[in-house]
Amino acid sequence: MIKRNPYIANIKAGYLFPEIAKRRREYQAAHPDAKIISLGVGNTTEPILPHINAGLVEGARRLSAAATYSGYQDEGLLELREKIAAVFYRGAFGADEIFISDGAKCDIGRLQLLFGAGSPVAVQDPSYPVYVDGSVLIGAAGGWTGAGYAGITYLPCTAENNYFPDLEKLPENGLLYFCSPNNPTGATADREQLAVLVRAARRTGTLIIFDAAYAEYIRAGALPKSIFEIDGARECAIEVNSFSKPAGFTGVRLGWTVVPRELAYAGGGSVNADWARVTGTIFNGASNIAQYGALAALESEGILEMRKLCDFYLENARLIREALSRLGVASVGGDNSPYIWARFPGRKSWDVFAEILDKCRIVTTPGSGFGPSGEGFIRFSAFGHRADVEEACRRLAQFG
């Protein structure tokens, strides 16, 4: 019989979001009349806006005519790579440094192939579970110890340190996953903090994988939307990003990754060249239809539509925070991100999850699923129809 990849056995339980979906199904089966509202997984709910949607339609139309038909586009449409460089990075990157993907999550998984099992991994704690679970799957981390995975350096990001990690604890010559605006806390690093981060990365030989999936939710003008706004980042960072959350492309699937030419391994090899090799080998490119949608999203009308969509979810976030504060529950986030991070002192996250589900019929995400420092917290997602969010806010009054 075939042997199982032993690293898979190191994963302690199911991936967080399917686990939540399972608990919801079980609750629904036991309470068939319950009208459950989900503020759990960060999944977009609102229709794609007209200009961007017209781009998708145009992408499909082009496939129907011989003159405009296209097949494999491994590296992504040149026009789209140039447009991403122009719109998001003020032309600071060439098209050969922008790689189109089918989403940030998929590229995070593929990026892990570049570094393999041998490089130490550090994460913000709490953080998006894919960084840690993916590292376990490639053997860069060991088994579950009861308080995290062996070999992962968890850098607590809590109210005590203003959600910015103590970088003295950064391992030498490793990877650091850094997400800003952060999932789940919503904390958004300012320019000075990112400058400190880049300096620490260069001092310790760390490669930062900067996840900017929520950058378009930033409303405070001075906050950086990209790690590449910081001098020196080209030598120590890769950025992953996505149209999922700003354009409603969670089901369309389109993202990109920036790998600067300057980025080198110990010994001097080019990370950019390896990334081209890895993606060329195991990825056949993103959907051409999705890429036409993204092109439309980057036109001025599309940019306005993305802003409008993010504003809609940010208003949901405001309503949720208000409802929590009426209950006396302390929370952060929701102002430059679609997540609210709510504190339930002295309690276990999964217990609070179960209580909110039972009393309010609302699905949330237990903070402990994002790392040891998430225990005692609940993440509320602001993705939802307005009427559902308003109803959820009314129901929250039944909690406590």
Q: How far is the CB of 32 from ligand PGU (least distance, A)?
A: 26
Among residues 41 and 264, whose Cβ is nearest to ligand PGU? 41
Among residues 66 and 282, whose Cβ is nearest to ligand PGU? 282
Cβ 271 vs Cβ 262: under 8 Å: no
SS3 (DSSP) at 307: helix
Residue 250 found at the interface with ligand PGU (CB under 6 A): yes
Residue 255 found at the interface with ligand PGU (CB under 6 A): yes
Could you list the beta-strand ranges (E) of the chain.
Answer: 37-38, 98-101, 121-125, 152-156, 175-179, 207-211, 237-242, 255-258, 331-333, 339-343, 362-363, 365-366, 377-381
Residue 239 found at the interface with ligand PGU (CB under 6 A): no
Among residues 104 and 138, whose Cβ is nearest to ligand PGU? 104
With CB under 6 A, what is the number of residues at the site for ligand PGU? 16
Residue 51 found at the interface with ligand PGU (CB under 6 A): no
Q: How far is the CB of 68 from ligand PGU (least distance, A)?
A: 27
User: Is the C-alpha dihedral spanning 233, 371, 318, 345 positive or negative?
Assistant: negative
Residue 128 found at the interface with ligand PGU (CB under 6 A): yes
29, 121, 125, 359 from 34: Cα distances, Å? 9, 42, 34, 11
**Structure tokens, 99:** 């790689």
Edge-to-edge strands, sheet with 365-366 = 331-333, 339-343, 377-381, 365-366
Residue 11 found at the interface with ligand PGU (CB under 6 A): no
Residue 41 found at the interface with ligand PGU (CB under 6 A): yes
Residue 110 found at the interface with ligand PGU (CB under 6 A): no
Among residues 46 and 262, whose Cβ is nearest to ligand PGU? 46
Among residues 181 and 302, whose Cβ is nearest to ligand PGU? 181
Q: How far is the CB of 314 from ligand PGU (least distance, A)?
A: 16
DSSP character at residue 220: S
Residue 333 found at the interface with ligand PGU (CB under 6 A): no
**Structure tokens, 350:** 């999964």
**Structure tokens, 154:** 């968890």
Among residues 103 and 260, whose Cβ is nearest to ligand PGU? 103
* Euclidean distance between CA atoms 211 and 24, whole angstroms: 29
Query: In Å, how far from its chain's centre is CA 159?
Result: 21
Of 167, 175, 285, 166, the closest CA to residue 238 belongs to 175
Q: How far is the CB of 211 from ligand PGU (least distance, A)?
A: 5
* Euclidean distance between CA atoms 207 and 116, whole angstroms: 13
Q: How far is the CB of 264 from ligand PGU (least distance, A)?
A: 25
Among residues 19 and 235, whose Cβ is nearest to ligand PGU? 19
**Contact pattern for ligand PGU over residues 56 through 75, marking x by CB under 6 A:** --------------------
247, 288, 342, 393 from 322: Cα distances, Å? 26, 42, 12, 8
Q: How far is the CB of 253 from ligand PGU (least distance, A)?
A: 7
Residue 112 found at the interface with ligand PGU (CB under 6 A): no
Per CB under 6 A, contacts with ligand PGU among 186-225 are 211, 213
Residue 17 found at the interface with ligand PGU (CB under 6 A): yes
Per CB under 6 A, contacts with ligand PGU among 76-105 are 103-105
Q: Using CB atoms within 10 Å of the CB of residue 22, give its burial: 0 to 12 exposed, 13 to 18 middle, 19+ buried.
A: exposed
**Contact pattern for ligand PGU over residues 351 through 380, marking x by CB under 6 A:** ------------------------------
Among residues 33 and 290, whose Cβ is nearest to ligand PGU? 290
* Euclidean distance between CA atoms 180 and 216, whole angstroms: 11
**Contact pattern for ligand PGU over residues 153 through 192, marking x by CB under 6 A:** --------------------------x---x---------
Q: How far apart are the first and last CA of the chain?
A: 53
Q: List the beta bridge partners of residue 208.
A: 176, 237
* Euclidean distance between CA atoms 281 and 372, whole angstroms: 36
Q: How far is the CB of 182 from ligand PGU (least distance, A)?
A: 8
> Which residues would be at the binding site for ligand PGU (CB under 6 A)?
17, 41-42, 103-106, 128, 179, 183, 211, 213, 242, 244, 250, 255
